[in-house]
Amino acid sequence: MIKPFLEIGKIVSVHGLKGEVRVQPWCDSGDFMKKFKTLYFDKNGQKEVKVISCRPHGNVVILKLDGVESPEAAQNLRNKVLYMNRKDANLSEGQFFIQDLIGCEVFDADDESKKYGKISQVSETGANDVWHIKSENGKEYLIPAIPIVVINTDVENERVLIRPLRGIFDEEVNGDED
């Protein structure tokens, strides 16, 4: 299910004396957060807050939020999760959020009657993401999210077509060779 509001990060501490907060970004980079002029304190978009300034700072992002003028006010926001409106992200064609992949059913690109399972998690490894696919019997498989494996990703219909690398989904290894 495509959620309209997505988690973008968590306020982890106060920064300085002017009410700024340090945010642990849960997105690709701190620069991504700079796109947003409004963020939300809830997953339904009811509690919005204007972003006055945003700057990456090492592995965190420093945010100045409207109405937060002191370290005490900033401290009251500690551990709060911030959400973004998906519509404000302006993703390019074919791009999607990791959260959109979770729960997608995975099928064989050459035989769509063959279902491998559902994506349960995505690990970011640096070179490429790795998708965790949980089969109906509970076994977990790891596939690299690379173009020769992932043939089609349709998050709107929660459906992914893959051409797995040899051996990933083999249930048994037998010594017989042809």
> Does one domain contain both 108 and 75?
no
- pLDDT digits over 49-66, tens only? 999 999 999 899 999 999
- pLDDT digits over 88-112, tens only? 988 777 778 888 899 999 999 999 9
- pLDDT of the residue at 1: 64
Strands 159-162 and 105-108: parallel
pTM of the model: 0.73
Q: Is residue 146 part of a domain?
A: yes
Torsions phi, psi for 80 (to 5 deg): -80, 140
Q: Is residue 151 part of a domain?
A: yes
More confident residue, 173 or 62: 62
> Does one domain contain both 30 and 48?
yes
Report the CATH number at residue 114.
Answer: 2.30.30.240
Strands 129-134 and 81-85: unpaired
> Does one domain contain both 18 and 68?
yes
Between CA 143 and CA 137 the distance in angstroms is: 17
Spell out a b/e string for 114-123, using b for 16 or more CB atoms within 10 Å of the CB, else e.
eebbbbeeee
Torsion of CA 35, 40, 46, 47, to 10 degrees: -130
Report the CATH number at residue 12.
Answer: 2.40.30.60
Q: Is residue 175 part of a domain?
A: no
pLDDT band of residue 171 (cuts 50, 70, 90) is: low
Q: Is residue 168 part of a domain?
A: no
Mean pLDDT to the nearest integer, 73-99: 89
Mean pLDDT to the nearest integer, 149-171: 90
> Does one domain contain both 109 and 38?
no
Torsions phi, psi for 50 (to 5 deg): -80, 140
Domain hosting residue 133, numbered range = 98-162
> Does one domain contain both 83 and 14?
yes
pLDDT band of residue 126 (cuts 50, 70, 90) is: confident
- pLDDT digits over 1-49, tens only? 678 899 999 999 999 999 999 999 988 778 889 889 999 999 999 999 9
> Does one domain contain both 68 and 125?
no
| Number of domains forming the structure of the chain | 2
> Does one domain contain both 11 and 80?
yes
Among candidate residues 26, 76, 81, 34, the one with its CA nearest the CA of residue 56 = 34
